[in-house]
Structure formats: C-alpha cells, structure tokens
Chain A
Amino acid sequence: MVVMVMVMMTAGVKAQDAISKFFSKYQNDETFSQVTISSKMFNLFTNMEVEDKDDQEVMNAISKLKGLRILTKEDTRDSRALYKEAMGMIPIKEYEELMTIRDKDKDMKFFIKETGGKISELVMVMGGNEEFMVMSLFGEIDLKQVSKIGKKMNVDGLENLENVKDKKN
C-alpha cells in the first residue's frame, strides 16, 4: 500500500515536472511572456462578497484554485514547432484529453488531470499561425466555471470551454 502510494506520488510529481520543465526551459527567453499567479492571490477572493449569485459561484470557484501559469510567444514563426514540443512533453498517461480545436488559424488542446475524483489541473496548449501559448491551471477546478473564470481573468482560449459542462459534468 505504502509502495503504491509512493509510486502514485512519484508519477504525479513527474507529470507536474514535465509541464514545469517546459516553463523553466523558456522562462529566461525574452521573446516569451510569462505570468504566474499564486494561491495567495486566489485566496483573496475567498472573503469577497458579491450580490449576484452567478458571480458568487465564480468567486467560490476562483478561491479553490491554487495557481495559474501562462507562457506565451507572440509574432513568432515557430509557434507550430513549439506546439509540437509542448505536446510531446505532456505525459499522456497522466492527463486526459478534454477537447481539441483545429481550424485554419490555430491548433488548441485541453487536458485535465484528475486526483481523487476531482479535477486538479487543466492544461491548455495553443499553437496559432503567429502565436503560441501554454497554460496550466491547478487546484480544485470546477469545469462549469472555467470559461467564466477565463473571462474574469482575461485569459484567452478558456471561453472555448463554455459548453464543456454538457460533455463532462
């Protein structure tokens, strides 16, 4: 039992490391932009009172998040190559593919990781004609609220998950 738990924990750490490794690789590259939001920031939303019931649900969902990392590169010709590289780094066994969007302008994939029956991480990878983005949102994630969280925090791409509640929850 102890060994099983240790193996599971190690696998979890490895998966997280794969995403972190990608961020670490490019964090000092000045052609990239990087945003990191800590759990402390999300905790600030815990005690916020709002009148609208929907807004309150979004606030509650935000307060359960533990972190957000975004890495982007704009005006780049190698966005498709970066997309492929990022995709190659995501351990498919650990993450479940949630949604794929492909059109003439961009490829976009969403992955989720479940821990204890709850979604603990949402990863979005996007490679466009001139733009690349990888995002990792972690904590206790309510998929029904993710698109609203994206709107509230101005994170492009998350609006694509607006109807995901019909598919997943």
Chain B
Amino acid sequence: MLRIRRIKQAVCKKAIDNKYLSIVFFANCQLFLPKAKKSMKRVSLILSLSAVLISSSLFGQSNSYQALKNNFNDRPDVHSFNVSGFFCRMVLGMAGEWEFKEAIKDVQNIRLITIPTKEFKAQGLSVDGFRKVLLRDSFEELATIRDHGDDVIFFMQSTNKKNRYIVLIEGPDEVVVIEMKGTVDPNFLVNMENELAFQNR
C-alpha cells in the first residue's frame, strides 16, 4: 500500500517535473565534463539529447493509450510525459536503480499519464470502461493486484515487432497509466507485482 502510494507520488512528481528533466540531466552531465571541451561537448550533447527526445515522440502509441490521452489531455489536473527508453535507463542509472534499468534494457519508450478520478466521472467514463477498451485493442491481462483500495493491472499487447505493456493503477483519487513499448524481462514483472502487493509484510 505504502509502496504503491510512494510509486504514484514519485510518478506524479516526475510528470510535473518532466519539463525540467532535460535541464537537470544537462546540468548533471556538465559537472563531469572537462572545461576545455565543454562547449563542443555541450553542442553534441544537446544534439544527441534532442534527437533522442524527438525520436521518442515519433514512436507509435497504442490506440487505447492515444484515445485516453485525447480524452483527457486538455484537462488542467492531467499530467503526461513521454521519454525514450534510453533516457529512462540513464535516469535510473543515475538513481542507482540497476535492477529496474536492466529489466527495461529492451524498452524503446515509456509514456505516462496521471488523471484525477473526478475527471473520469466528469466525462461519464470509468476505469473499467478503459479496461474493456484495452481488451478490445488486443491487450491481454498479465496480472492484477488489489491492495487496500488500490488496483493495479498489468496488460500486454503482442505485436510482430515489439510488445506493448500497459500498467493501469487506480487509486481512490487518481488513475495512473504507464505504457511501455519494447520487451520487459518477465522475471522483473512478476517480482514487481509481488513486491507491490507484499511490501508491508
């Protein structure tokens, strides 16, 4: 329960702070660069980082995630961000989350959206309805966790090229949807589910 809340808080904070991520990253990188070559490296760093961020926005989204985003994107309390797998692994590396970093080594990009529950109600929509949309969009349920009022459901859509994963987290006040494209280590998925459910033992 606490762990889920902590993850959600971190996720929301990341969503809000997302616009500053590249600035923070850039500032961190600068600390390790020798002064003489700083300006040259800065240019190449900006170029490579821009390429990564731009390319990440060009990856195809699942229809269901796109539909959700279209429905809620203009609402004031809805936050979303997209990052490439490369960028996410780099941030995880900086944070010392080696296990997580290794598990998503074949993930191309990650998208996240946080939506207050009241927004669902305001539009006459429900999380269960979105679950049905996912199932119609060829997503299959991998696992569900129900823990003290929080529901977490893991979905997977197998495609010819890359898999898509959706993690749907429904709490009393907000809904978080995370979409990953690529391949995630199934060992990590299983461990994450059990860790989420039994963290407080």
Residues on A with C-beta less than 8 A from B154 are 41
Residues on B with C-beta less than 8 A from A154 are 190-191, 194-195, 198
Interface footprint category on A: 20 to 34
Chain B interface, >50% SS class: mixed
Q: Which of B55-110 contact A (CB under 8 A)?
A: none
Stretch at the interface among B18-26, B111-119, B123-131, B143-151: B143-151
Chain A interface, >50% SS class: loop
B150 to chain A, nearest CB (A): 9
Tell me which of A32, A38, A131, A156 contacts B142 (CB under 8 A): A38
Residues on A with C-beta less than 8 A from B174 are none
B41 to chain A, nearest CB (A): 39
Q: How many angstroms between the C-alpha atoms of A31 and B149 in the bound complex?
A: 8
Interface footprint category on B: 20 to 34
Q: How many angstroms between the C-alpha atoms of A48 and B184 in the bound complex?
A: 12
A16 at the B interface (CB under 8 A) = no
The 6 closest A-B pairs by CB, nearest first: A44-B186, A154-B194, A41-B142, A34-B146, A33-B147, A37-B143
Binding site for B on A (CB under 8 A): 27, 30-38, 40-41, 44-45, 48, 70, 72, 74, 131, 152-156
| Sample of 8 more A-B contacts, CB < 8 Å, known A41-B190, A155-B194 | A34-B145, A40-B140, A70-B197, A74-B200, A74-B201, A153-B194, A154-B198, A156-B201
24 examples of A-B residue contacts, CB within 8 angstroms: A27-B146, A30-B149, A33-B145, A33-B146, A33-B147, A33-B198, A34-B145, A34-B146, A34-B197, A35-B146, A35-B193, A35-B197, A37-B193, A38-B143, A40-B141, A40-B156, A41-B186, A44-B142, A72-B197, A131-B201, A154-B191, A154-B194, A154-B198, A156-B198
